[in-house]
Structures are given as C-alpha cells and as structure tokens.
Amino acid sequence: MIKYNKLIRDKIPEIIETDGKDYKVKKLEDEEYLKSLNAKLQEELDEYQESGEVEELADLLEIIYAILDYKDISREKLEQIRQEKAEARGGFAKKLFLIGVEAKE
C-alpha cells in the first residue's frame, strides 16, 4: 500500500474505488483537520509556485474556503476584510518592490 497521510478531497475515495483499488481513510477530529488544512494549503501553494498553473490557484481557493468554513467565516466576510485592507494599504497593481527602508536623521 502506498502511504499518503494527507488531507484529500471528498470524492477521492469514490475515484479510487472506481479504479478497482482498496484504500484506507479516517475522519479527522477538529484540531487535526485544521492542521491538515494548513498543510494542504502549503502543499497547494508549492504546486502553484512550481507550475504557475491557474488550476493550482483554484485548489488554493478550495482550501481557503474549507478553512473559512471551519472557522465559521463567510466568503463575504473574507472579501470585506480584503477590501478594507486594499483601501487602507492598497493592492499590488503598481508592481512595487521594496528594496529597503532607512531612517531619516
């Protein structure tokens, strides 16, 4: 048996079964679930950085939505927070790259 030890999408067991393979899964408790979501977030980010594919951004969003659901925060609330930060600090449209900051004497 190949070991994965990672969070999977809900339909993966059905897909494995359709392929005629056996599998072993367990349902995570809350603390372990959040820890696994955070690990999956990093995994998907690494995959996006490696490939640059938009599909990986969709995977990142799916994980972010799952984290929001876990924390009982709506997508609308996240968007409100994003908008407030954008208004206060700006976005990234100007493509600015900070090299350094020096105190004035």
What pLDDT is recorded for position 105? 86
Q: For the CA atoms of 29, 15, 2, 51, what is the dihedral angle to 10 degrees? A: -90
**If we measure between CA atoms, which residue out of 94, 65, 95 comes closest to residue 79?**
65
Q: What is the pLDDT of residues 61-85, one digit of tens each?
A: 999 999 999 999 999 999 999 999 9
- Whether 93 has a pLDDT exceeding 90, the answer reads yes
What pLDDT is recorded for position 102? 96
Locate the domains of the chain by residue range: 12-89
Say how far apart CA 75 and CA 98 lie, in whole Å. 30
Residue 47, both tokens: 């995959």
> What is the average pLDDT across 48-64?
97
> What is the average pLDDT across 19-33?
96
3 φ, ψ (degrees, to nearest 5): -100, 135
Angle at CA of residue 41, ends 38 and 46, nearest 5°: 130
Model confidence, pTM: 0.88
Say how far apart CA 56 and CA 42 lie, in whole Å. 11
